[in-house]
C-alpha cells in the first residue's frame, strides 16, 4: 500500500480518460516581482504552452567538448555492455545511455550543474532540485527508431512513485535537430491534462519500454483531442540549443531515416519537495540509474 495519496490514477481501468491537473505549472509566485532568469513573457509562455526553447544557449566551443565525450561513449565496447545502456530494438547501436551525470563522467556531470539550466528550472519549480533521471539519446542516422507519444510524468508516477507534477525536463541538442532526423515534437497545452492510460503494468516493464514503449502511451482518440487543441511543434535548431518542457507534456519523436544522427542529452530536474515514494503501479521500483531515489541537491556552477 502506497503511503502517498494517488491523485493521478492510471492503468487501472478502461477506457482511457483525462483527469484535471491538480498542481501548478509555475510554482514561483511571479506576482512578488522578484528578479529571476526568465522574463515575464517567457514565464507566461511556459505556463500556457508547457515548454521554452532557447537557441544556441551553449557556444560552439562548448558543444564541441560535449560531442567529443558523446562519441567516446558511443564507440566504447565496454559501454555497450553496461546496464545503463539501451540498444536499438533491431540492432546493436546505442539508443540511450542513462545516468550520464554519474559514473565519474565529469563532462556531463558539470553540464547538469550549469547555472544556465539549473537557475531556470529552480525558478519555475520554486525549489532546490535534484536529478531524477539523465540520459543521452543517440538516435543514429538511417536506423534510429522513434519514441512514441507519451507523458513522462505518467510513467514516473506509475513506475517510479513521483507523487506530483513538480519536475522539468531539459533536452540539450548535441547535434543539429532538423525536420529530417526525428526532432523532439511537443503538443502545446497538453501539460494541462493528465491522461489516465489503459493496461496493467508488467513486471520489469522498463526492460522493454526503454526500447519500445507499449504501456503508458495515449490512445488515438485522446491524442487527436490534444492535437486538435494545441497542434504540434517541432524543437528544431542548431547544436547547443535547449528545450525545457513540463513533466506532463505529451511529446515524442519520429524515426530517423536521414543519414544524420540526432543526439541530445536529457536531464530531469525534480523538486526536493517531490521525492519518490513507492511506485503507484504496485510493483518494485525501477533501477536507480533510471529513477534516482538519492536526493543529491544540484549546486549550480
**CB-based contact 202:166 (threshold 8 Å):** no
> What average pLDDT does range 125-153 have in this prediction?
91
What's the pLDDT at 201?
75
> Is the pLDDT confidence value at 236 over 90?
yes
**Averaged pLDDT score across all residues of the chain:** 90
CATH of domain 19-26+37-271: 2.60.120.620
Q: Give one word for 10, left, alpha or beta, with left for phi > 0 and alpha for psi -120 to 50.
A: beta
Whether residue 218 is preceded by a cis peptide bond, meaning omega within 30 degrees of 0, is no
- Express each pLDDT in 215-235 by its tens digit: 678 899 999 999 999 999 999
Which DSSP string corresponds to the chain? --SS--SS--SSSSS-EEEE--S-S--S-GGG----SS-HHHHHHHHHHSEEEETT-S-HHHHHHHHHHHHHHHT-HHHHTSTTEEE-TTSSSEEEEE-TTSTT-HHHHHHHT-HHHHHHHHHHHTS-EEEEEEEEE---TTTBPPEEEEEHHHHIIIII---SS-EEEEEEESS-B-TTS--EEE-TTGGGEEEE--SPPPTTTHHHHTTS--SS---HHHHHHHHHHH--EE--B-TT-EEEEETT-EEEE--B-SSS---EEEEEEEETTS---S-TTSSPPPPTTTS-----B----
Reported as a single tens digit per residue, the pLDDT across 4-54 is 789 999 988 778 899 999 999 999 987 666 778 999 999 999 999 999 999
Give the position of cell 507499449. Answer: 214
| Backbone phi and psi for residue 233, each to the nearest 5 degrees, phi listed first | -120, 150
pLDDT of residue 88: 72
Specify which residues 184 forms β-bridges with: 253
Cβ neighbourhood burial of 92 (10 Å; 0-12, 13-18, 19+): exposed
**pLDDT given at position 94:** 81
Q: Say yes or no to pLDDT of 276 above 70.
A: yes
Q: What is the pTM of this model?
A: 0.92
Amino acid at each position: 500500500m502506497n503511503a502517498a495519496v494517488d491523485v493521478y490514477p492510471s492503468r487501472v481501468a478502461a477506457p482511457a480518460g483525462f483527469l484535471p491537473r491538480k498542481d501548478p505549472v509555475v510554482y514561483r509566485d511571479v506576482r512578488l516581482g522578484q528578479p529571476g532568469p526568465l522574463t515575464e513573457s517567457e514565464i507566461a509562455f511556459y505556463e500556457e504552452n508547457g515548454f521554452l526553447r532557447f537557441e544556441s544557449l551553449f557556444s560552439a566551443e562548448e558543444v564541441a567538448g560535449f560531442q567529443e565525450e558523446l562519441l567516446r561513449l558511443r564507440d566504447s565496447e565496454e559501454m555497450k555492455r553496461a546496464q545503463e545502456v539501451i540498444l536499438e530494438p533491431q540492432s546493436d547501436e546505442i539508443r540511450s545511455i542513462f545516468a550520464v551525470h554519474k559514473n565519474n563522467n565529469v563532462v556531463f556531470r558539470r553540464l547538469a550543474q550549469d547555472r544556465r539550466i539549473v537557475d531556470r528550472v529552480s525558478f519555475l519549480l520554486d525549489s532546490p532540485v535534484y536529478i531524477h533521471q539523465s540520459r543521452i539519446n543517440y538516435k543514429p542516422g538511417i536506423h534510429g527508431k522513434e519514441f512514441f507519444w507519451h507523458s513522462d510524468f505518467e510513467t514516473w508516477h506509475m513506475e517510479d512513485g513521483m507523487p506530483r507534477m513538480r519536475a522539468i525536463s531539459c533536452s540539450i541538442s548535441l547535434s543539429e535537430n532538423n525536420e529530417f532526423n526525428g526532432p523532439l515534437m511537443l503538443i502545446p497545452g497538453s501539460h494541462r491534462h493528465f491522461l489516465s492510460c489503459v493496461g496493467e503494468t508488467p513486471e520489469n516493464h522498463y526492460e522493454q519500454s526503454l526500447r519500445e514503449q507499449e504501456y503508458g502511451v495515449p490512445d488515438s482518440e485522446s491524442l487527436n483531442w490534444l492535437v486538435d487543441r494545441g497542434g504540434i511543434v517541432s524543437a528544431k535548431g542548431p547544436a547547443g540549443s535547449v528545450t525545457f518542457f513540463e513533466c506532463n507534456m505529451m511529446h515524442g519523436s519520429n524515426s530517423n531515416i536521414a543519414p544524420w544522427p540526432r543526439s541530445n542529452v536529457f536531464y530531469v530536474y525534480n523538486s526536493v519537495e517531490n521525492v519518490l515514494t513507492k511506485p503507484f503501479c504496485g510493483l518494485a521500483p525501477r533501477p536507480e540509474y533510471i529513477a534516482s531515489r538519492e536526493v543529491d541537491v544540484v549546486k549550480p556552477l
